Amino acid sequence: DVKVTQSSRYLVKRTGEKVFLECVQDMDHENMFWYRQDPGLGLRLIYFSYDVKMKEKGDIPEGYSVSREKKERFSLILESASTNQTSMYLCASSTPGGIYEQYFGPGTRLTVT
Amino acid sequence: GQSLEQPSEVTAVEGAIVQINCTYQTSGFYGLSWYQQHDGGAPTFLSYNALDGLEETGRFSSFLSRSDSYGYLLLQELQMKDSASYFCAVGFTGGGNKLTFGTGTQLKVEL
């Protein structure tokens, strides 16, 4: 069974803090993705990575950065958290040819106060 | 850019059949996926269509018409546990390794 885990289920941070969201997958997938999910807006892609140390911007990368030092781990970084980054963050992974079948983690509900 | 349209809400009764539509606008369309997400849960993959026609997986089927830029998810013999949000997602040539998701359809199954 593919397993994608995320470091926290719920997180509360203050405005201006640096925030790290961690994601680990155990299926040796090359592709990893970070999405945010907001009511009425669906899932929006922040960044994705198709290999170690490789990354590409998604549709809403502003205010975020990512790091992929190991194949199984993909980190999302909020350099200076703001209240408009309060959201559900979902990590996913897939094989290179399998972007249509992505495996999602349980999500991290981030609240920035 | 890409845009997808799906109804925000659909209600149906247990045992019935329901169809959730998805229309898309994208250049270089490649394929359409469907995902299910229960409240508080992670999205899970249901199906994928790259070619026109119907793909069946148990009670769920997915249809694609490339010429009409349209697809749908068909759920048969509805059960209460099918109450969830359903998302369509498209990939397109030149888009690299990524999907664009729709805003989701919340399906409520009633007794």
pLDDT of residue A92 exceeding 80, the answer is yes
Asked if B100's CB is within 8 angstroms of A101's CB, the reply is no
pLDDT in tens, B31-80: 999 999 999 999 999 999 999 999 998 999 999 999 999 999 999 999 99
The per-residue pLDDT for A2 is: 64
pLDDT band at B95 (very low <50, low <70, confident <90, very high): low
In chain A, the N- to C-terminal Cα span, in Å, equals: 37
Q: A107 φ, ψ to 5°?
A: 95, 155
Average pLDDT over residues A71-97: 96
**Chain B interface test: which of A30, A74, A91, A99 (most B C-beta within 10 Å):** A99
Q: CB of A108 within 8 Å of any CB in chain B?
A: no
Judged on CB neighbours under 10 Å (0-12, 13-18, 19+), A101 is middle
DSSP letters for A4-37: EEES-SEEEE-TT--EEEEEEESS--SEEEEEEE
CA dihedral B88, B101, A102, B70 (to 10 degrees): 30
